[in-house]
Structure 1
Amino acid sequence: MSTTQSERLRELLEPLVTSQGLDLEEIAVDSVGRKRVLRVVVDSDTGADLDRIADVSRALSARLDETDAMGEGEYTLEVGTPGAERLLTQHRHYVRATGRLVRFQLTEGEELVARILTVDDEGVDIEVPGVKGRRPTARRLTFDDIAKARVQVEFSRKEKQDHKDMTEEEEA
């Protein structure tokens, strides 16, 4: 997709996404055989459930039908969220990942997996899990220290607060 088309699509679609209370994270046009696929990735601080995605998809589809932004040929519109193992590229992504386990690739070459505790304008405070019975350690990373960061999927992690709430509900 040309930069011009990408910019034009972003200018066209971003106000609609924003009006639905979501952030436009990514736009990509890919060729799949003879057809094209327009992929739009949206998110928000509170997440995007299926109803919100369906609403924004209808709004984007209607808007695209009114314009020639995708040209004359057929295309498929796909609207979704960033997914479980999202790449963190903007400040708001780090804020949304607070409490999550993240794999950090540091600019100096070191790689580590740690939980984001807090985020501010300069960087993140993280907790590096202890190894072999050792206690976790706190660490500070500035955004300049981070070359790449990606959220990790945790299948076995149980939220302490959720467990406490469930126990209180069972006792009531």
Structure 2
Amino acid sequence: MGSPTGAAVSALSPVVSDVVTRAGFVLDELDVRPAGRRLVVRVTVDSPDAPGVDDGPAGGVDLDGVAEVSRDVSAAVDAREAEDPAVRDALAGAYTLEVTTPGTDRPLTAPRHWRRAWLRRVAVTLAGGESITGRVGGVTDPEEGPATVTLAVGKELRTVALDEVSRAVVEVEFKPAPEAEVEALRAARRESAEQHQGTQQQDTEQEER
């Protein structure tokens, strides 16, 4: 038998995910925990868009976006609670809703997290125990093979398979990134995009023959 909080997550997930998606964001995490006689429903949202090659590091969801999601999730959950016994039983009365965004100390665990960390400095621990610190460049599409990320480590670019990463977190920086690192990563990302486009064009031409 599942836990009450697990049942609440299962019941609320479709409702919350729909609201967050319609608002133009990504549901990063849905967490339900008891707090005294009520439950705390914590919704973590993030922006889905990866920065362009000529852009700087990505920004997060602004306060207006958080407020909008909070209002809409609250209204949707209350409406579903009134009509759906599963949601009503899962919440079991009063609950507190918290809508937040990921902190800078959130581990990078998915390709989307890495894309959002474009040009940010990260501390990485590999599965074999090696620790490296580098700046995040392009991330390959996991639908086209094992996902990899390009890191600027010192004066070199290094390609790391995401499935070899055991832990990675963004480091807080207090000064601008070195221009040489930024330009090297931008150039590598442009080259990768051009190669990908060329491969797609060749595949299309072969299909048309």
Please give the range of the TM-score, normalised by the shorter of the 2 chains.
Answer: 0.7 to 0.9
Alignment deviations for residues 26-46 of structure 1 (CA, whole Å, 9 cap, x no partner): 011122233321100001125
Q: Counterpart of 2:153? A: 128
Amino acid at match of 1:51: D
TM-score (norm 1): 0.81
Instruction: State the partner residue of 2:72.
Output: 59
Distance, in Å, in 1 between the alignment partners of 2:152 and 2:74 is 43
Question: Residues 35-63 of structure 1, C-alpha deviation per residue, up to 9 Å, x if partnerless?
Answer: 32110000112521000110010000001
Asked if 1:20 is matched to 2:23, the reply is: yes
Given candidates 94, 98, 106, the residue that maps to 2:126 is 106
Paired with 1:115 and 1:159, the residues of 2 have a C-alpha distance of 9
With structure 2 as the length reference, what TM-score do the two structures score?
0.68
- Measured in 2, the distance between the counterparts of 1:151 and 1:58 equals 30
Is the Cα contact below 8 Å between 2:126 and 2:166 reproduced in 1?
Answer: yes
The CA deviation at 1:160 is 6.8
Q: Supply the AA of the counterpart residue of 2:118.
A: T
Deviation at 1:159, TM superposition (A): 5.3
Structure 1 segments of 4 or more deviating over 6 A? none
Distance in 2, Cα, partners of 1:11 & 1:90: 21
% identity of equivalent residues:
38
Q: Does 1:83 align with 2:103?
A: yes
Aligned partner of 1:146 in structure 2 is 165
Gaps of 5+ in 2: 50-58, 82-86, 142-146, 180-209
Q: 1:159 to 1:126 in 2, by over 3 A?
A: closer
Q: CA deviation at 1:110?
A: 1.2
Query: What runs of 5+ residues in structure 1 fail to find an aligned partner?
Result: 130-135, 162-172
Aligned counterpart in structure 2 of residue 92 of structure 1, from 87, 92, 112: 112
The structure with the largest helix share of the pair is: 2
Q: Which one-letter code corresponds to 2:71 in the other structure? A: R
Aligned to 2:11: 8
Higher share of residues assigned strand: 1
How many Å separate the matches in 1 of 2:110 and 2:75?
A: 29
Distance 1:65 1:19, change over 3 A: same
The 2-side partners of 1:102 and 1:160 are apart by: 14
C-alpha displacement at 1:2, in angstroms? 4.3
Alpha carbon RMSD of aligned pairs, Å? Answer: 1.9
- 1:6-28 C-alpha deviation (Å, 9 max, x unpaired): 22211111011000000000011
